[in-house]
Amino acid sequence: MTATSDLAPRRLRDIFGTFASGLTVITSSTPQGPAGFTCQSFASLSLEPALVTFSPARTSSTWPVLRDAGSFTVNILPAEHQHLAGQFARSGTDKFAGVSHTSSPLGNPILDDALAWIDCELHAEYDGGDHTIVVASVRHLSARMDAEPLLFFKGRYAGLSPARLLEAAS
């Protein structure tokens, strides 16, 4: 492995992409109707108090709408919802076209068959360069135990098949 000091955005994206992550769709009920966007940069932050974090791009036109709503739901996508990751990543379209959902306790859209959902209220925002670092207080949550996660690795969707093989070998 050769070290590099090449910090060009494409090189950073390639290197950072070697860290597999789950995919989420952040949704909210707004005065204009349901809104949402795909977000790869999601993580748990604290257990006490219960906090999560995610980082929308500063260029996002959807995040300001969700911020103004004050509450939102993080929908963790299962492997079978790859199409929703793509649908909610597109700008200028009706992202909820054909998407079944119910309302969370805070009134936000929970995507049908989400692997898990976490109902949140905005806690804080911080500067994160070309992204905003959002910290949210967890209010309600639920998960399915009968599905695998949708992962993103090296710029493509991935699953857990190799992990199952590793578990069987141990």
- Residue % of the chain over a pLDDT of 90: 74
* Structure confidence at residue 170 (pLDDT): 45
On the question of pLDDT at 143 being above 90, the answer is yes
On the question of pLDDT at 134 being above 50, the answer is yes
Q: How confident is the model at residue 169 (pLDDT cuts 50, 70, 90)?
A: very low
* Structure confidence at residue 92 (pLDDT): 85
* Structure confidence at residue 17 (pLDDT): 79
- 42-87 pLDDT per residue, tens: 999 999 999 999 999 999 999 999 999 999 999 999 999 999 999 9
* Structure confidence at residue 29 (pLDDT): 97
Higher-confidence position of 146 and 28: 28
- With a CB cutoff of 8 Å and minimum separation 6, the contacts of 73 are 26, 27, 28, 104, 106, 108, 109, 110, 117, 118, 119, 120
- 26-39 pLDDT per residue, tens: 999 999 999 999 99
